[in-house]
Structure 1
C-alpha cells in the first residue's frame, strides 16, 4: 500500500482490506515507530551523551549502594543476634571499643554520602554552566566552573578514600567540565568586542576574566582595550554587501556613527568601571564581604538541600579575589598606547570610509546625530589621569575629516547631471504604481499635434502618442528633459571653449575626446547604478528600464557627446566614425542591461507563480478526480479475424484537454503578466519567458514521470503525455530549439513506455487530433504566452492587411514595421461536432472515470 501510514483510517482499513494486508500495514507501522525511536535515541545520545552516561552510572551506583547497605545491615543484625544469644559469656569487647567502631562506621557512612553528593554536583554543573553562558551571565558561569574544579580536585586528592577508586566517574566528569575554561573565555571576548556594550555587561566580563585566569587588573585592562580597538576596526572595515532577505544594507553614515559610538562608549566604560570607586571595584568588594553567599547557592534547590552532607570546605566555598589595584600611571600608559593604535586606524580606515560620503545631506546627518547621541563628558577622566589632550574623539578625529570632505570639490557637471538623473529614477521607481487597465488606449488631448509646427517638430519629447506606446509617461519625459538640459549646458560651455581662436586644434581635439570618454564613463556608471537598484516589484523594474531607454531616445544632446555636431567636425576629422561606433556600443550595452531587467521581471513572475507551488507534486486518487478532465469516448469498429463479416465495436477513452491545474496555472501567469506589463512583451522577452517556463514545467513533469503512481497507471501516463504534446504544440517547440525539443521528446518517450504499445497505437491518432483541437481552442486564450506566428505567415498577413487597409489607424503604432506585428489576429475556433451526449451518458462517463481512477 502506498497510502501514507500517518493518515490511515482504521475503520476503512478493516473494511476494505484483508487480514494479511492489515498485518503488513501493522508491521510497517511498527517499523516506522522503531525507526523514530532509534532516531530519537541517536539525537539525544549525541547531544547529551556524557550527561546520560553519568546519569546511568549514578543510577547503577545508587542501586548497587542500596543493595550493599541492605546486605550489610542484614549481616550486622544476624551477627548481633548470635552474639547476644550464644556467645553472651565470652564477650571480650569493651564499651569504649564499641563506641570507637560506631564512630568509625558513622564516619565512613558520612564520607560515602559526601562523596555521592559531590559527584551529583559535578554531574549537574555542566548544564547549569551552559544555562548561564546562554543568558550571558559569565561571572556566574565562571564561579560555577571554579566551584566544579574545587570539588574535582578535592575528590582526586582524597587518596585514602577507597570509594573513589571504585567510582571513576568523578575523574571522567572533570574531563567534561575542563573545556568550559576556554568556552567561557571565548564567549567573554566575543561580548567585549561588540559595538553595543553596557557597563554592567563589561564589569561582568572583566570580573569573569579576573576569576578565570587569576590575572591582575592591568592585564584585564589591556585585553579590554584591545577588544574595543578590534570592534572599532571591524566596524570600519565592514563591507557594503547584501544581507539576508528582510534586512537592509548598512550605510556609510551608520558605520561612521557606530565607530564614533564605540570610541565614546569605551571612554564612558573606563569612567564608570575602572576609575576609583568604579562599578568593577564595588562588585569585587561585594564578593569579598564575609556575608557573600557561597558558590553552592548558585545550584538548584535540590542540590542546595544536600549541602549539610558536604564538608565545610565545599559547602562554604566562595571565590577569592586579590585586592584590585590599578594605579593611575598604568591606566594612563595603557590609554595612551591604545589612543596611538586608534590614530593609526583612523588615518587609513576612517578616512577611506569618509571618502564614501557622497553628499552634503549625509554629512549634515552625521553631525546632527553625533551631537545628539554622543554627549558624554570625558573631562572628569582627563582631569584624573592628567592627560595633555582631549578625549573627545568627535572633535579630535571626526570634525577634521568632515571638514576635509566638505572642502573636496570633485563634482563635475557631468557627474551632477548623472547623479540627479539617477536620484530621479530612484524616485520614480519608489513611486511606481500599477497603471490603470487599458490606460494606454485612452485618448488624450495631447496625443495629436495641435499645429503644423508641432507636427513638423523633430523633438521626440513632443511626440506624446509615440511615447505612450513605448511606456514613456509624463514623469519620465520630464526626467529626460531635465537631463538633456543639463547636457545642453555642458555642450554649450564646450562650444565656448572650442570657439576660442587662441586654443590649438590638438587641444580642442583632446577636449572633444575627453567629453566622449567622460560621457561613456558616466553613462556606464549610470547604467551600473540602475542595475544595482534593489527593486521590490515588477512596476519598479519596468520604470527603471523604461527610464534607461528614454534617456537615450529622448536626449539628443547625449548623442552629441558621442557623435559630434557639425560645427565640431572641422577639428574631429576622421574621428566621427569612431564616435558613432562608441555610441552604437553604448546603445548595445544599454539594450543588454535592459534585457537583464526584463529577465528580472519575468523571473519574479515565475517565482511568484512557481509550478512547484501551483501544480500538484504527487498524483493521488483525489488529484485524479479533481485535476483530470473528462476524457472523450471513441467507438472503434474492428473486423474479427475468423469471421470477416462480423464487426466488433470497442470503446476507448482519450484525453481531450490538458489537466485543469495546468490550464489554471497558465491563466494565472497570463493574469500576472498582464498586471505587470500592460503592453505585450517584446518578442525576445517573451521567448526568454517561455523558455524558463517550459524548463520549470519539464522539471515538474519529469518528477511526475519518475513517481511510482505514474509508472503503475497507464491512464496517468497518458494524460501526462497529452499535456506534454499540448505544451510542445502551443509553445511551438520545434527542432530549431534543439535542447528543449530533445527534452520534450525524451520525456514523452519515457511516458510512452508506461503505456501498452497496442493501446498507444490505437490512441496515437486521436491524441494528435485532440492536441490540435485543444491548441486551436486555447491559443487565443493564452494571450501573451503564445509565441508569434512564423515569419512567413506573419509577413503575408501583414502584407494583406496593408493592402486592404486604405486609412491609417492607431493600430499601426503597435508594429515596428510591416513585418513585425505586435498584436496578431485571434484564431477562430469552430464549435466541435459530435458532442451531443445526453445527461445520462455524461453521468455514465463520470462514473466510469471515477472507477478507473480507483483502479490506478
Structure 2
C-alpha cells in the first residue's frame, strides 16, 4: 500500500519543497544583486561601497580580520576560503558585497540540506537490514537526483539574469557617453565578474547540491573544495558544467570591461602623436639631456660640441601607461585571469603600433605638408622602444610574431628619417637613457609586465625585454599572481645585516660576547651608586673607537636593548 499510494505522494511532496527552496534561492540572489547594483548607483562618495569602486582601498587597508589567529593551528586541508581570513579574500578580490551575495545563497542551500537530512541516508551509513513498512531513506537516490537537477536550474536562472544584465550594460557603455553613468555601469560589470568567480569557491553547499552528495555535515564540507579540485573535470561532469558556465559569464563581463577600457585609454592618442599644434607639442614635451661629445676632424684636431638627447618618454605615452596600470590595480589585477590581462595588453600594444603606423603614413615622408622633424623622430624612437621594454611580447604565437614584424617595420621607417651619422651618434645615449628610464619606471608600470618576464632593465640590452635578469622557473611551474609587482633589486637594495667580528676592542668585545653584569642604581641623594648618565656613558661605545666605525646599526640597537633591560630590572628590584 505504501509503495503504490503513499510513496509517490511522499516523494512528490519532498520534491515540491526542494523546488520551492531553490526557486526562492534564485529569487533571493537576483534581489540581492539588484540591491547591490542600486547601491553602486547611489552617491559616488558613499564609503560603504567605496571598495566596490576601487579595490585598491579594500586590498591595501588593514583590518583585524585579515588573519584569523583562532584557526592558526588548523590544517590547511580542513579550511575553506572563509576560514583563511580577510587577507585571502582580499587577494582574491572578493569584496564585502561579493561575500554577502555568496553567503546569502550558501545559507539558503545549507538550510535546504538540513531539511533534507531527515530523508537522505548518509553514504557511509550501513544499509538497513530489517524490512519495515515505512523506510524513509528508500527514496535517497531520487531525492538527490532531483536536488541536483533543480540546483542546476537554479544556477542557470541566476546566470541568465546576469547575462541579460550584462548585455544591457554593454549597450549602455556604447550608447551613453556620460562619464558618470559609464563609471557606474563599469562597476556593475566588474561586480558581476567577481560574483561569478566567487560562486565557484565560496558556496560549498551549492557544490554539494550539484554533486548530489548525501553527507552534508560541516567536517565534510570543509574538505569539499580541496578534494574535488584534485580530481579531473571528466570525473565531475555536473559541477564542471556549472563551473564552466560561471566562468563563461565571468569572462563575458571582463570582455565588456576590457573593450570599454581600451576605448577610454586609446581615445585621442593618435591625434596627440600626430598633432602639429604647438601648444600640444609643448604640453607633451619632456626634458632632454645635454651631452658634450668630442669629435676629431680629418686634420687630427679635436673639437667638442653639445647635443640634446631624449631622457624620458613623452607625457602622453606615460599618462596612457599609468592610466592603464591604475585601471588594472583599481579592479584587483592580482585576481584577474591571466588571459584577461594578456588580451588587454595585446589590444593596447596593437593600438599603439597602429597609431605609429598612421603617424608615419601622415607625416613620415618629406612630400607631406608637415613632415616629422629630426628631434620629433628621435623622441618617437625613444617612445616606441620604451613601449617594447615595458610591455614585452615575446611569445611564439602567430599574433606575437606579426606584432614583432610590425615593430621592426616602424623602427626602420623612423630610423630612415634620421640622418645616418646623427643616428650613430645619438643611439648609444638613447639606449643608455632607455635603460635608466625603464629601471626608474619599472615599479610604477609593473602591472603591465608578465610575471614570467620580470627582471632588471639595466641588466640586458635595451632592445630586449625586461626578462634578462630573472631566474628560470623551478620545475616549470607557473608563478603565482597574488598582488603582483615587478621586482627591482637596484631600487630596493638588501638591508644591512648585523655581523659579529671575532676581534674587537676589549671593552666593546665584552659588550657583544658576554652578558652585562648587574649593576645597582642608588636612589639616595648621596650619589654613592652609579648614576644613569654614567651607566649610559659606560655602556655606549666611544665615538672615536674603531669598533664603533665597524659596528652596524643592529649591533648598536642590541647594546641599547641590553642596557634598557638592565636598567628597568634594577628599578623593579628596588621597588
Counterpart of 2:321 in structure 1 is 666
Counterpart of 2:359 in structure 1 is 704
Q: Calculate the aligned-residue CA RMSD, in Å.
A: 4.1
Counterpart of 2:242 in structure 1 is 586
> Aligned pair in 2 of structure 1 residues 559, 634: CA closer, same or farther (>3 Å)?
same
Counterpart of 2:255 in structure 1 is 599
Match of 2:377 among 717, 733, 745: 717
2:82 and 2:202 in contact (8 A); partners too: yes
Alpha-carbon separation, structure 2, partners of 1:464 and 1:825: 27
Cα deviation for residue 751 of structure 1 reads: 2.0
Cα deviation for residue 698 of structure 1 reads: 1.9
1:798 and 1:821 in contact (8 A); partners too: no
> Aligned pair in 2 of structure 1 residues 444, 759: CA closer, same or farther (>3 Å)?
closer
Alpha-carbon separation, structure 2, partners of 1:822 and 1:420: 36
Q: Secondary structure at the match of 1:654?
A: strand
1:461 paired with 2:82, answer yes
Farther off after superposition, 710-719 or 488-497: 488-497
1:705 and 1:717 in contact (8 A); partners too: no
2:334 and 2:481 in contact (8 A); partners too: no
1:533-567 deviations in Å (ceiling 9; x for gaps)? 24443332232222222222121111112334365
> What pairs with 1:276-291 in structure 2 (closer than 5 Å)?
none
Structure 1: gaps (5+ residues): 1-408, 569-574, 800-815, 831-856
Q: Secondary structure at the match of 2:308?
A: strand
> Aligned pair in 2 of structure 1 residues 468, 820: CA closer, same or farther (>3 Å)?
closer
Cα deviation for residue 424 of structure 1 reads: 0.9
Match of 2:200 among 545, 552, 561: 552
Cα deviation for residue 612 of structure 1 reads: 1.8
Cα deviation for residue 723 of structure 1 reads: 1.0
Q: Secondary structure at the match of 1:653?
A: strand
Alpha-carbon separation, structure 2, partners of 1:828 and 1:615: 37
1:424 paired with 2:86, answer no
Structure 2: gaps (5+ residues): 1-16, 41-48, 122-127, 170-183, 217-230, 456-466, 493-575
Cα deviation for residue 605 of structure 1 reads: 3.0
> Aligned pair in 2 of structure 1 residues 605, 524: CA closer, same or farther (>3 Å)?
same
1:828 paired with 2:490, answer yes
> What pairs with 1:23-102 in structure 2 (closer than 5 Å)?
none
Q: Secondary structure at the match of 2:272?
A: coil
Alpha-carbon separation, structure 1, partners of 2:274 and 2:353: 15
Q: Secondary structure at the match of 1:734?
A: coil
> Aligned pair in 2 of structure 1 residues 460, 676: CA closer, same or farther (>3 Å)?
closer
1:726 and 1:771 in contact (8 A); partners too: yes
1:625 paired with 2:288, answer no
Q: Secondary structure at the match of 1:542?
A: helix
Counterpart of 1:445 in structure 2 is 64
> Aligned pair in 2 of structure 1 residues 618, 577: CA closer, same or farther (>3 Å)?
closer
Cα deviation for residue 785 of structure 1 reads: 3.1
Counterpart of 1:562 in structure 2 is 210
Q: TM-score, normalised by structure 2?
A: 0.59
Counterpart of 1:38 in structure 2 is none
Cα deviation for residue 726 of structure 1 reads: 0.6
Counterpart of 1:529 in structure 2 is 161
Cα deviation for residue 621 of structure 1 reads: 5.5
> Aligned pair in 2 of structure 1 residues 626, 543: CA closer, same or farther (>3 Å)?
closer
Q: TM-score, normalised by structure 1?
A: 0.41
Cα deviation for residue 421 of structure 1 reads: 1.0
> Aligned pair in 2 of structure 1 residues 698, 476: CA closer, same or farther (>3 Å)?
same
Match of 1:741 among 397, 401, 404: 404
Q: Secondary structure at the match of 1:486?
A: helix
Cα deviation for residue 530 of structure 1 reads: 1.6
Counterpart of 1:571 in structure 2 is none
Alpha-carbon separation, structure 2, partners of 1:519 and 1:472: 23
Cα deviation for residue 664 of structure 1 reads: 2.5
Alpha-carbon separation, structure 2, partners of 1:653 and 1:676: 41
> Aligned pair in 2 of structure 1 residues 564, 669: CA closer, same or farther (>3 Å)?
same
Alpha-carbon separation, structure 2, partners of 1:740 and 1:729: 14
> Aligned pair in 2 of structure 1 residues 762, 663: CA closer, same or farther (>3 Å)?
same
1:366-414 deviations in Å (ceiling 9; x for gaps)? xxxxxxxxxxxxxxxxxxxxxxxxxxxxxxxxxxxxxxxxxxx997432
2:23 and 2:154 in contact (8 A); partners too: yes
Alpha-carbon separation, structure 2, partners of 1:670 and 1:619: 25
Match of 2:341 among 686, 696, 712: 686
Cα deviation for residue 648 of structure 1 reads: 5.1
Counterpart of 1:434 in structure 2 is 50
2:311 and 2:437 in contact (8 A); partners too: yes
> Aligned pair in 2 of structure 1 residues 434, 672: CA closer, same or farther (>3 Å)?
farther
1:615 and 1:662 in contact (8 A); partners too: no
Alpha-carbon separation, structure 1, partners of 2:333 and 2:473: 23
Alpha-carbon separation, structure 2, partners of 1:494 and 1:731: 55
Alpha-carbon separation, structure 2, partners of 1:415 and 1:620: 63
The count of aligned residue pairs is: 398
Q: Secondary structure at the match of 1:717?
A: helix
Cα deviation for residue 725 of structure 1 reads: 0.7
Counterpart of 1:487 in structure 2 is 109
Counterpart of 2:453 in structure 1 is 790
Alpha-carbon separation, structure 1, partners of 2:72 and 2:384: 58
> What pairs with 1:285-324 in structure 2 (closer than 5 Å)?
none
Give the helix-richer structure, 1 or 2: 1
2:144 and 2:213 in contact (8 A); partners too: no
> What pairs with 1:803-822 in structure 2 (closer than 5 Å)?
822=484
> Aligned pair in 2 of structure 1 residues 752, 503: CA closer, same or farther (>3 Å)?
farther
Alpha-carbon separation, structure 2, partners of 1:751 and 1:444: 53
Alpha-carbon separation, structure 2, partners of 1:440 and 1:742: 40
2:454 and 2:487 in contact (8 A); partners too: no
Counterpart of 1:778 in structure 2 is 441
1:625-646 deviations in Å (ceiling 9; x for gaps)? 33232333444444444x3x33
Counterpart of 1:297 in structure 2 is none
2:119 and 2:136 in contact (8 A); partners too: no
Q: Secondary structure at the match of 1:537?
A: helix
1:421 and 1:479 in contact (8 A); partners too: yes
> Aligned pair in 2 of structure 1 residues 829, 697: CA closer, same or farther (>3 Å)?
same
Alpha-carbon separation, structure 1, partners of 2:438 and 2:71: 49
Cα deviation for residue 701 of structure 1 reads: 1.8
